A and B are shown apart, each in its own frame.
Chain A
Amino acid sequence: MQQYQISTNPRRLRRFHGGIHLPDEKELSTGQPVAEAPLPRLLTIPLQQHIGAPAKPLVQVGAWVLKGQRIAEPQGYVSAPIHASSSGTVIAIEERPVPHPSGLSATCIVIKTNGLDEWARLPKPLDNYADLDPSIVRERIRWAGIVGLGGAAFPTSVKLNPGSNQPVRTLIVNGAECEPYITCDDMLMRERAGRIVQGVSIVLHLLGARECLIGIEDNKPQAIEAIRLAVAQSDIKESTQVCPIPTLYPSGGEKQLLRVLTGEEVPTNGIPAQIGILCQNVGSVAAVAEAVMEGRPLISRYVTLSGRGIAQPQNLEARIGTPIGELIRAAGGITGDVRKLVLGGPMMGFTLDSEQVPVTKATNCVLALSTEEAPDPAPALPCIRCGKCAEVCPANLLPQQMYWYARSKDLDKVQDYNLFDCIECGCCAQVCPSHIPLVQYYRYAKTESWAREQEKRDAEHARARHEAREARLERMEQERKAKLRKKKEALAKKPAAAKVGAPRDAKAAEDPKKALIEAARKRAAAKKAALSKEGVTPKNTNTLTPAQQRQIDAAEARRQPAEPTATAKED
């Protein structure tokens, strides 16, 4: 047992309001070391796996790509690039089902792997990152397509650039992993502690932060030990402290972890950088180390396969774009009784209808839950106002009040009760004796509120256009009236001018309009005479050149077959 020096003064931990104890089911999937999932035949890589604008494809259908090659570039600042997870050919760039609660599809790049798994040419490692300008390191992180691997998938290079007006003094590394069943971060900490700590060192340097706190729930003793060892052997041991925290769901939530470790609260609608703190998942930090020290982009991640519906629950290192069904097969396949297939954990994940959806950067877990583990909810009973939901809410909200107003679709009142401070952790619904699907009410309220705001903006825009149109018509009307008025005035002035000037055609004096026409005709005749002098005759169908005649014949020929289809389109 190696002795190491590290500050063993336990940090004084705080508590956040609420939270619940759940059976953690972690031993199901931590029995064996993490294996690499077999390379799938097809990789379906969505263009949007992150918060922000979707990436734009750089390759065409039919292109041959190498592993780690950039196949889509970021659009705008808050965006991330996409890389090919293995070598092969791009066989399609089209809409495919993606992991989302709606089951809808989105544009994906589909690669048929050739089995060779050849790397593309990778950029040089940045071993001397400590001497480099932070923006170079950030650029490398952005190039590598690293996003928050804890589930939020926010582009890491953007998060690590909080701006000079928000200096970060504390880096928090989130190894809590509080949701039941999920163990991918646990295994990553056990197996790749060195990589994680390397990443921490890089990020510390990048941010210029003074200290780092690594929060790990105390139901992961091996992970705590591994990380402690790695920290003790690193160059950041003076500024880094490993803090085991009490196992309580949801202490892995960013705001809750921050409060436990530092006692501070992120202001509502704000980000931790506003109080000088930044939080990163252990997986993201390890990916940063890979990108900076090895020059490798993010093309794979640890995924937990668990639940009593899986034959051999375990963690697998899966390539981004692997169909979920292949991962399940690699874990022994489905045992008989599977009631639900869930992506993510049982508290915050969503159900999948199809096994064909791919692994994305945000996929941390796939659960096949038996009927016993995930019984179908019975119809909800009325709310008995017991207040258990408010007791457990980590955001200290009043879920009961939010429920009443969301149910009567009074979205303004739901927002008055701070709807957008809800982190959708599911604690309230878990303890509700009436089994009310509280989280779904709040999710409904949030998406409905956003949709209504969008509709309001659209309505304002349409109103502006409508008013502009009315103004335009009004203006045209005014102009027409003004013209008419001017003409009348001109007419009134004309007879006076005619008396002064030389006598013209008597008829013209009486009828100014006829005079105008007469003048125009004289001008045209003069022009014609001038042109015919030059040998240019007026163009009409009597004097077609042969080339022109051919063009007309071709158009006629095109029109003939079009007509039958036109009539067939009548509905």
Chain B
Amino acid sequence: MLTAIVAFAALAAFFGLLLGYSAIRFHVEGDPVADQVDAVLPQTQCGQCGFPGCRPYADAVARDEAEINKCVPGGEAVVLVLADLLGKDPMPLEAGVEKPKALAVIDEKECIGCTLCLQACPVDAILGAAKQMHTVIADECTGCELCLPPCPVECIHMVPVGEDLGSWKWPFPATAPDAAIHPGAA
């Protein structure tokens, strides 16, 4: 009986020391999980997840303070990757359906050159200056919709990006059996 207690205590002490040593020796700066989550997010900085940007959301997910299904532009693909990364179950998007990708377009007849949208764009995709015409650089726009609320004359509209031959994807087969039990299947 005594030997058992002594043996267990010795083992516990040994492993405790080992763990303590590794915690100090192999300590990693920053939060690698948050970095990994941030690498998966689409970086539109749109705020539709409820956080002011992609990095804050990534930090929250890494701290387990936010669910993984909040990213709207990322869609189902991001939910699945995060589920795999964090060992959680995939869940349907909080927003419901995935919105098709859209780009912001400024109606130039209405624009009054107030620069409010310039300041709102997180990736500086709007070209213009005070009292000068503003225009969205289509290649840089991520569709985050942050420029819509500030515009005083509501001259910005989201135009869905159509598919072209280059971006068309084969659809997931529709005859998948047991579709209901696989959240990832059609």
Contact = CB atoms under 8 A, between A and B. Distances in A.
Interface of A: 48, 98, 100-102, 104, 106, 377, 379-382, 407-410, 437, 440-441, 443-444, 446-448, 451-452, 454-455, 458-460, 462-463, 465-466, 468-469, 472, 562, 566, 569-571
B169 interface: yes
A381 B177 contact: yes
A562 B168 CA distance: 39
A570 B157 CA distance: 11
A466 B123 contact: yes
B123 A444 contact: no
B140 interface: yes
Given A380-B176, A462-B42, A409 B109 contact: no
Contacts of A466: 43, 45, 53, 122-123
B105 interface: no
Interface centre among A381, A452, A459, A460 (most CB of B within 10 A): A459
Contact of B44 (A440, A462, A469, A472): A462
A48 B109 CA distance: 36
A444 B169 contact: yes
Interface in B97-143: 107, 109-110, 122-125, 140, 142
B142 A104 contact: no
B42 A382 contact: no
Contacts of A377: 175
Contacts of B169: 444, 447-448, 451
B172 interface: yes
* Size category of the binding interface on chain B: 35 or more
Interface centre among B41, B124, B165, B176 (most CB of A within 10 A): B165
Contact of A408 (B45, B167, B185): B185
Contacts of B124: 465, 468-469, 472
A380 B175 contact: yes
A408 B172 CA distance: 11
A562 B184 CA distance: 51
Nearest to B176: A407
A96 to B, nearest CB: 12
B31 interface: no
21 contacts: A100-B168, A101-B170, A102-B163, A102-B168, A380-B175, A380-B176, A382-B177, A409-B185, A440-B170, A441-B173, A444-B169, A448-B170, A451-B167, A458-B42, A462-B123, A463-B54, A465-B125, A466-B45, A468-B124, A469-B124, A472-B124
B170 A462 contact: no
Contacts of A407: 176, 182, 184-185
Nearest to A408: B184
B163 A469 contact: no
A566 B110 contact: yes
Given A462-B42, A462-B45, A463-B43, A379 B170 contact: no
Contact of A459 (B41, B122, B154, B165): B41
B178 interface: yes
A48 B166 CA distance: 11
B165 A48 contact: yes
B182 A408 contact: yes
Contacts of A381: 177
Given A379-B177, A440-B171, A452-B77, 16 more contacts: A104-B165, A106-B164, A381-B177, A407-B176, A409-B77, A409-B172, A440-B173, A443-B170, A447-B169, A451-B169, A458-B142, A459-B44, A462-B123, A466-B43, A566-B109, A570-B154
Contacts of A468: 124
Interface centre among B142, B168, B173, B185 (most CB of A within 10 A): B173
B173 A444 contact: yes
A104 B168 contact: yes
Contacts of B93: none
A459 B42 contact: yes
A104 B164 contact: yes
Nearest to B53: A466
A455 B70 CA distance: 18
B165 A102 contact: yes
B84 interface: yes
Given A466-B43, A566-B109, A106 B165 contact: yes
Contacts of A104: 163-165, 168
Contacts of A102: 163, 165, 168
A562 B109 contact: yes
A447 B184 CA distance: 17
Contacts of B109: 562, 566, 569
A472 B124 CA distance: 10
Contacts of B173: 380, 437, 440-441, 444
A47 B177 CA distance: 40
Interface centre among B44, B77, B140, B170 (most CB of A within 10 A): B170
Contacts of A452: 77
Contacts of B34: none
Contacts of A458: 42, 142
Given A466-B122, A466-B123, A447 B170 contact: yes
Nearest to A100: B165
A180 to B, nearest CB: 23
Contacts of B110: 566, 569
B80 interface: yes
Contacts of A410: 80, 84, 184
A446 B124 CA distance: 33
Contacts of B184: 407-410
A443 B125 CA distance: 34
Given A380-B175, A440-B173, A444-B171, A465 B140 contact: yes
A437 B186 CA distance: 14
Nearest to B77: A452
| Closest 3 pairs (CB-CB, A-B) | A447-B169, A465-B123, A443-B170
Contacts of B175: 377, 379-380, 437
A563 to B, nearest CB: 10
A462 B142 contact: yes
